[in-house]
Amino acid sequence: MALVEINFDGLIGPSHNYAGLSPGNLAATRSAGAVSEPRAAALQGIDKMRANLKLGLTQGIFMPLARPDHRWLASLSTDYADAPMHLKAQALSASAMWAANAATVSPAPDTADGRCHLTVANLVTMPHRSHEWPGTLAQLRMAFADPAAFVVHGPVPPPFGDEGAANHMRLCPAHDAPGIEVFVYGVSGGPFPARQHRDASEAIARAHGLNPDRTLFVQQSEAAIAAGAFHNDVVAVANERVLFAHEHAFADRDAFFAELSRLMPEVEIVEVPAARVSLSDAIASYLFNAQLVTPPDGQPTLIVPTEARDNAAVWSWLEDHLAGNGAIRRVEVVDVRQSMANGGGPACLRLRVVADPTTIDPRFMVDAARLDRIAAIVERHWPERIAADAIGDPALIAQAEQARRALLEAEGLVGLINT
């Protein structure tokens, strides 16, 4: 069985809009009320997947969820026509596009039964995301249906907040070798909620059958959360031997780094000092919400948003690191401005799964030709713009629902239409 890292990107849905629903996510709250561009957003995401394929990476895809979520509204004894505006917005949100919040993934080399385990995230902290998990779980169980290779778990129960891979890192000599799994949780975030509970992380580690001696639970710093790092992946990212983090990412960085180095002496810790890149610059540019990957040529590559290139302090640090022959050998820039304006960078848009691609439902894998077909559907059906006052427009709702239906029918995924 050939295990490789697969990036599953969430296709940005036709209801993508800026309703400012996520306290602590500074980009999302800044964009509240702005006009969104769902068609451009989805095409930007597709272009990012194309760029990954050109690097030689293996690429998967998740489909948009049914929005508005009529079942969720029915559970609140209302429907879309009669719901108050804040519930309309929460039911219409396209936030499932951020696949890093879909699940926590432990590859087969780390688990007691030698299978890849995935636990769907409950996302209970934010109302607009709390009803994502049933639709996400349906896709996970379809994509990873091979019982010999995968175990897909339901969510950790409330009130223990779990936001998936955005608060989970894995370090390893190679993707197919046993690794160290790092769960990052929050305790306090000043004016903003800490979204990942330690109890949730510990429950997932138990469910996945992880070795306690190779599993770390690390507290995110209060300063990072208060500055707008609502998930750990806004201030830290790991890949194979490399941990790339901001100086103020963790509550007790010294203890964490010491323990990580003890467990994995070959680890390369690349820490960006606050004197070079402030927390505010790191969060505004999403320097760490980048994809840190190893293409087939073996050169550790950081895929950053255009905002990182546009930030003088961030770009200066990256240039110096590359010039110094640091652990990161290449930087690629992608345009995901529509996602960034709603608070999600390149890493938010993908879920990393280490697996044998032949064990995955091929309807969730993509190549360049399939991305071209999906892009044609997006260009034909996705709304061009959504203004803030349009979310109650029946014509918009009909267009968004028909767009998703057209996509799923074309892609042979009609079983997902009602989930």
Catalytic residues: 163, 231, 348
> Can you tell me the distance from the alpha carbon of 339 to that of 98, in angstroms, rounded to the nearest whole number?
9
- Residue length of the chain: 419
> Can you tell me the distance from the alpha carbon of 344 to that of 234, in angstroms, rounded to the nearest whole number?
9
Among 186, 150, 200, 120, which Cα is nearest to 355's?
A: 150
Residues in contact with 27: Cβ distance below 8 Å, sequence separation at least 6, in sequence order: 284, 340, 341, 342, 343
